[in-house]
Amino acid sequence: MSPRTASPTPRPGFVLEVERSTPPILFHHGEGFRLERLPAGRSRVVYPPSPLEGLPDPAGAIRHALEHPIDSEPLPALLRPGMKLTIAFDDISLPLPPMQRPDVRQQVIETVLDMAAAAGVDDVHLIAALALHRRMTEAELRHAVGDRVYEAFAPSRRLYNHDAEDPNGMVVLGVTDHGEEVQISRRAAESDLVVYVNINIVAMDGGWKSTATGLSGYQGLRHHHNVATMLKSRSFMDQRSSELHHSNWRQGAVLRDSGPRIFQIETTINNNSFGTSGSLSMLQKREWEWTARDRATFLAMQGGLQVMSPAARRRAFQSWRAPYAITSVQAGEVEAVHKVTTENVYRQQLVAVEGQTDVLTMGLPYICPYNVNSIMNPILVMCLGLGYFFNLYRGRPLVRPGGVVIMTHPTPWEFHPVHHPSYIDFFEQVLADTTDPVEIEARYELQYATDEWYRHLYRTSYAYHGVHPFYMWYWGAHALSYLGRVIVVGGDRAAVRRMGFAPASSLSDAFEIASDTVGSRPSVTHLHLPPFVMADVS
Amino acid sequence: MRGLDFPWRPPTVPLSAPPEHVPAALGADFDTDWARRWPARMVRASIIELLWRPVVAAAAQPSRLGLDRLEALDGEPVIFAANHHSHLDTPLLMTSIPEPWRHTLIVAAAADYFFPTRPKGFASALFMGAVPVERARVGRDSAQEVAGLVRRGWSLLLYPEGGRSTDGWGQPFRGGAAYLAHRCDVPVVPVYLAGTRKILPKGRLVPAPGRTLVVFGDPVRPDPSERIRTLGTRIEAAVAALADEVTTDWWKARRRAHTGTTPSLTGPDAASWRRAWALSHRSRPRRRRWPR
């Protein structure tokens, strides 16, 4: 049975050729914005498609997907009294920005639990599959699963965060034919059924990456979260060419053969990050479509942001909840489900782009997967720009080999002391020594990954794992080896230089700096995001 | 209002934007037929003689050279191809181009810049005799429209650079002038303008009076067997040679033209500060009487 998806296809994305009449283009700039003119006659802007229509009846679509799964028996048929059921779900890193209530996870989990209750399943655990991310707070868990679920399961410790460093809580199920250990939560491994509830916001998410990564620990993750894998992933947003996914899929095969039965539920959401109406709606409009009201709102917002303190700005931005709508839901066998999911992600995000460019520009927003309710520190700036945005391509990178990436972001030398303690040391100790991912991996990774203090903070506080900043740096390894130069506009100069990038005070300065690498009249492509757009480069 | 940029003022619509957002009656589709009828021509002639001429005389103090080179044309329709630095260029040329071309002149104007709104399009057509031309992409429709007017006896003023200079150096010539000349089999008169950028550069609203130079060159006649690209190169070289002529002397300019060493209008291919540096070393146009 085919899954239900939203039918209408609204306005597709497109590539604007910049000419003299093109108005200034919006660049995100952390907790702020810039309007920049791009060189006419040799620049283009890649705009995302408009948000797809949401499913008219999400609850009905979820139930339909569970009762008519792909390559699997219906979920009710898999549930029986006396069984051990584990429901794992994506953590705080998805979606971005966090969505308005009700969260997709809440809607799906309530339906699954409803079916489990009908089947008389008593032993149910819910696990936030956060791998080596920080633990979710009570408020964040409540937001994700809803108050009803939280209050029913959290007090009795049947709703909790995954703990990858629990010496008794993790098991190794086997080894792939490439020698990769498959490590997973003991509770999940010993369950009769694991239901994984996923949100797909970019093509990297989902599939075996949900379970093989989300419920795993350092012992399993190190086999694909490493420099060699990242250098071979072209890109990790395109599963066919992603070594990261190949490794996860090999681990998934071991899970399928030796682990618990897994029932995968994947959802896609539209790219309505800022709303089609309302105070931030101009951020996802094309500039020439801004109304007088949009312009007035933007000017007022810019004026307001200038007089706010950085902390107040951060609070204001982090309080934004996106009005996302579910565009598809599919359930069943992991790989079959994920194929459909990926197509639905591409349906929302893919834009055909002809040829590569000399200079790729991108405005980095205030949020990335690892600073929800937190601070976007310099390492995360690098990860978002060179890890995520650079990799938003299928086929070939948007920028040519040896080209230049220009990012706009304040890049403050600032870290959240609770969430990112190992990042501070990584920035002060490791990057002060070298920025070469290969050298960093060889000399420092194990020390940080096994540090008892970081381990303690990860397990008991709300800290990312000690090894996490390394993974963020590896995420950009391909871009670092591929690009001729990286320039950060408007960033803290010392922080930008520490990472080996060139600081620039304005976009025109950045083009001037870039001219050493790509000449004085380079072709320029600007990725106009968020909302997410993925370039299908021919 | 004009000094303000987006978002203080409404955005302009890019030509390559999806067509649903471009109003049908604006841009390249703006109707200018009315501006070539007698009532509008009379108004325009009055504006040229009673408004532009005294304004240009006061603000630009033009020296007009090479008018004798046009005598061989015998009044046939021509295409005037000039370098472009300033909004002052068009009034300056409208008052410098001699009869019989002056009052049968249409001006190719960027559709996105001069015809984005009805009032602006109306003023452009009436005051300048402007016809909309798409400059950001190959616009067959607008090219056909202009070609039809040239065939019907109108002469055309066109800036092959596609827009005003941003840094004082010229921009590479586009193929429009060569295409139309080849297609309509009319000569192209190269024109070199100097001094207008100092008076009213791009981005300035109030002119600062100064001196200007308008140099007409020998007409470039299209050869039916020659490629349009080659004709375009000849036109650009002719304008560059005029520039060389006024910064050095006619003889040096001719020698350099024949040896292919005429300095380019576009300046060095280097970073912006080096281009500005090189521009500052260029000789300024001298006020002189020539030919004697």
A298 close contact with B: CB closer than 8 A: yes
Instruction: Inform me whether the C-beta atom of residue A286 falls under 8 Å from chain B C-beta atoms.
Output: yes
Contact between B16 and A23 using a beta-carbon 8 Å cutoff: no
- Any idea of the CA torsion for A193, A197, A200, A204, to the nearest 10 degrees? -40
Distances from the Cα of A130 to the Cαs of A164, B56, B74, in angstroms? 9, 73, 84
Contacts of B10 in chain A (CB under 8 A): 292, 295
Q: B32-67, pLDDT tens digit by residue?
A: 888 998 899 999 999 999 998 999 999 989 999 988
Whether the predicted interface score ipTM is above 0.90: no
**Domains of chain B by range and CATH?**
32-280 (3.40.1130.10)
β-bridge partners, A332: A70, A264
C-beta atoms of B14 and A21 within 8 A:
yes
How is residue A305 written in tokens? 């942001």
CA–CA gap between residue B180 and residue B202 (Å, rounded): 27
Q: Is the pLDDT of residue A87 over 60?
A: yes
Chain A residues with beta carbon closer than 8 angstroms to that of B16? 16-17, 19
Beta carbon pairs, A and B, within 8 Å:
75
Any idea what the Cα angle at residue A528 is, between residues A527 and A533, rounded to 5°?
75
Please answer yes or no on whether B12 and A298 come within 8 Å at the CB atom. no
CA distance B49 to chain A (A): 32
Give the residue with greater pLDDT, B187 vs B267: B187
CB spacing of B14 vs A289 below 8 angstroms: no
Q: What is the pLDDT of residues A342-371, one digit of tens each?
A: 999 999 999 999 999 999 999 999 999 999
Please tell me the least confidently modeled range out of A410-419, B27-36, B57-66.
B27-36
Q: What is the pLDDT of residue A483?
A: 97
- Note the pLDDT of residue B291: 55
Query: In chain A, what residues touch B13 (CB-CB under 8 Å)?
Result: 21, 288
Q: Does the pLDDT of residue A436 top 70, yes or no? A: yes
pLDDT at B136: 63
Percent of chain A with pLDDT over 70: 98
Contact B136 A290 (CB under 8 A): no
pLDDT at A1: 36
User: Tell me: the pLDDT tens digits for A112-138?
Assistant: 999 999 999 999 999 999 999 999 999
DSSP characters over A220-233: HHTTTSSHHHHHT-
Q: How confident is the model at residue B251 (pLDDT cuts 50, 70, 90)?
A: confident
pLDDT band, very low/low/confident/very high, at A8 (cuts 50, 70, 90): very low
Whole-angstrom distance, CA of residue A283 vs CA of residue A427 = 32
The closest alpha carbon to A263, from A158, A337, A213, belongs to A337
Q: What is the mean pLDDT of residues B268-275?
A: 74
Structure tokens at A331: 């359930």
pLDDT of amino acid A58: 93
Q: A50-72 pLDDT, tens per residue?
A: 999 999 999 999 999 999 999 99
| pLDDT digits 0-9 by tens, B65-108 | 988 888 878 789 999 999 999 999 999 999 999 988 988 999 99
| Residue A65, C-beta contacts closer than 8 angstroms, at least 6 positions apart | A3, A4, A265, A329, A330, A331
Interface contact B16-A16, CB threshold 8 A? yes
* B6 interface with A at CB cutoff 8 Å: yes
Average pLDDT score over residue span A373-391: 97
Q: Which of B5, B16, B17 sits opposite A24 (nearest CB)?
A: B5
A288/B5 CB distance under 8 A: no
Question: What mean pLDDT do residues A436-443 have?
Answer: 97
Residue B47, chain A, CB below 8 Å: the answer is no
> Which H/E stretch holds residue A508?
helix A507-518
Of B10-24, B36-50, B136-150, the one with minimum mean pLDDT is: B10-24
Best residue of B1, B4, B13 to probe chain A, by most A CBs closer than 10 Å: B13
Does residue A273 carry a pLDDT above 70? yes
Kindly tell me if the per-residue pLDDT of B285 is higher than 60: no
CB A248 within 8 A of CB A207: yes
Model confidence at B1: pLDDT above 80: no
Neighbours of B257 (CB within 10 A): 17
Q: Nearest CA to CA, how far is B127 from chain A (Å)?
A: 22
Range among A419-423, B122-126, B240-244 rated most confident = A419-423
Partner-chain residue, chosen from B6, B113, B271, that has the shortest CB–CB distance to A520: B271
Tell whether A21 is within 8 A of chain B (Cβ). yes
Chain A contact present for B272, CB below 8 A: yes
Task: Work out the minimum CA distance from A17 to partner chain B, whole angstroms.
Answer: 6
Confidence of residue A254 (pLDDT cuts 50, 70, 90): very high
pLDDT at A10 over 90: no
- Taking only the tens place, the pLDDT of each residue in A209-252 is 999 999 999 999 999 999 999 999 888 888 889 999 999 999 99
For residue B115, which phi and psi values (nearest 5 degrees)? Answer: -130, 35
Give tens-digit pLDDT for A473-496. 999 999 999 999 999 999 999 999
What is the identity of the amino acid at A396?
Answer: R
The per-residue pLDDT for B292 is 45
Alpha-carbon distance B114 to nearest alpha carbon in chain A (angstroms):
10
Query: Which one of A16, A35, A299 has the shortest CB-CB distance to B17?
Result: A16
Mean pLDDT of A416-439: 97
Decide if B15 and A21 are in contact by the 8 Å CB cutoff: yes
Q: Sort out which chain A residues have CB atoms less than 8 A from B116's CB and list them.
A: 21
> Are the C-beta atoms of residues B123 and B139 closer than 8 Å to each other?
no
Rounded average pLDDT over B11-17: 82
**SS3 label, residue A160:** strand
Residues of B in contact with A41 (CB under 8 A): 136
Task: Please state whether beta strands B188-194 and B212-216 pair in parallel, antiparallel, or not at all (unpaired).
Answer: antiparallel
Please provide the size of chain A in residues: 538
Of B7, B17, B270, the CB nearest to A299: B7
Judge contact between A533 and A349, C-beta under 8 A: yes
A339 pLDDT higher than 60: yes
Distance from the Cα of A21 to chain B's closest Cα (Å) equals 5
pLDDT band for position B192 (50/70/90)? very high
Give the pLDDT confidence score for residue A261 in this predicted structure: 97
Determine which of A15, A19, A33 to mutate to test the interface with B (most B C-beta atoms within 10 Å): A19
> Tell me, what's the pLDDT at B204?
82
A354 touches B at CB < 8 Å: no
Q: Which chain A residues are within 8 Å of B268, Cβ to Cβ?
A: none
pTM, entire model? 0.72
CB of B13 within 8 Å of a chain A CB? The answer is yes
Examine the pLDDT at B140 and tell me if it is beyond 80: no
Give the model's pLDDT for residue B290. 54
CB-CB under 8 Å, A520 with B15? no
pLDDT band at B284, cuts 50/70/90? low
Contact list in B for residue A288 (CB cut-off 8 A) is 11-14, 17, 21
Res A112: pLDDT: 96
Q: Alpha helix locations (H) across A242-401?
A: 243-258, 292-307, 310-318, 334-349, 378-382
Show residues of chain B in contact with A354, CB under 8 Å.
none
pLDDT digits (tens, 9 = 90+) for A146-178: 999 999 999 999 999 999 999 999 999 999 999
Q: What is the mean pLDDT of chain A?
A: 94
Q: Decide if pLDDT at B282 tops 70.
A: no
